[in-house]
């Protein structure tokens, strides 16, 4: 199935730094989803975006729905050790299929 391109693939940052990652697609989406996954656990939905240009925050997380509807961005401000994990973007089609990004692995160094 279709896969979304997510970058960077991995990040190693110092605690307190800000983080940016993005997700791009060759197709447009009407919804963009961002998930965080801890090892051995299921992905947890962080932010959902529904409208081109929309900027939505959830605590220290801010995500944007790209104007072209083919991309989305996630920022984490003032990172802390519990931000460690793999972040996935995703988008649904109208046929109950969700396409996932390749993932960004985040390591926060105390």
Partner 1 sequence: DTEVTQTPKHLVMGMTNKKSLKCEQHMGHRAMYWYKQKAKKPPELMFVYSYEKLSINESVPSRFSPECPNSSLLNLHLHALQPEDSALYLCASSHPTGRAGDTGELFFGEGSRLTVL
Structure tokens at 48: 């959902």
Q: Candidates 14, 42, 59, 67: give the one binding partner 1 (CB under 8 A).
A: 42
For the chain, give the number of residues: 110
Q: Closest separation between CB of residue 47 and partner 1, Å?
A: 10
Q: Closest separation between CB of residue 78 and partner 1, Å?
A: 26
Residue 96 CB-half CA count within 13 A: 0
Is 85 among the residues that bind partner 1 (CB under 8 A)? no
Q: Closest separation between CB of residue 15 and partner 1, Å?
A: 22
- Give the CA angle between residues 7, 9, 14 to the nearest 5°: 100
Q: Closest separation between CB of residue 103 and partner 1, Å?
A: 6
Q: Candidates 24, 30, 56, 75: give the one binding partner 1 (CB under 8 A).
A: 30
Q: Candidates 50, 55, 81, 107: give the one binding partner 1 (CB under 8 A).
A: 50
Cβ-Cβ contacts under 8 Å for 95 (sequence gap 6 or more)? none
68 close to 39: Cβ distance less than 8 angstroms: no
Instruction: Cite the DSSP H helix spans in the chain.
Output: none
Interface with partner 1 by CB under 8 A: which residues?
1, 3, 30-31, 33, 35, 40-45, 48, 50, 86, 88, 90-98, 100-103, 105
């Amino acid at each position: 199935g279709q896969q979304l391109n997510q970058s960077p693939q991995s990040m190693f940052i110092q605690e307190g730094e800000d983080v940016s990652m993005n997700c791009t697609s060759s197709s447009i989406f009407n919804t963009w989803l961002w998930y965080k996954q801890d090892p051995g656990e299921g992905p947890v939905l962080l932010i959902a975006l529904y409208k081109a240009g929309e900027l939505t925050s959830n605590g220290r997380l801010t995500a944007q729905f790209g104007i072209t509807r083919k991309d989305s961005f996630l920022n984490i401000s003032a990172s802390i050790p519990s931000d460690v994990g793999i972040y996935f973007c995703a988008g649904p089609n109208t046929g109950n299929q969700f396409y996932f990004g390749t993932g960004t692995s985040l390591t926060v160094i105390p």
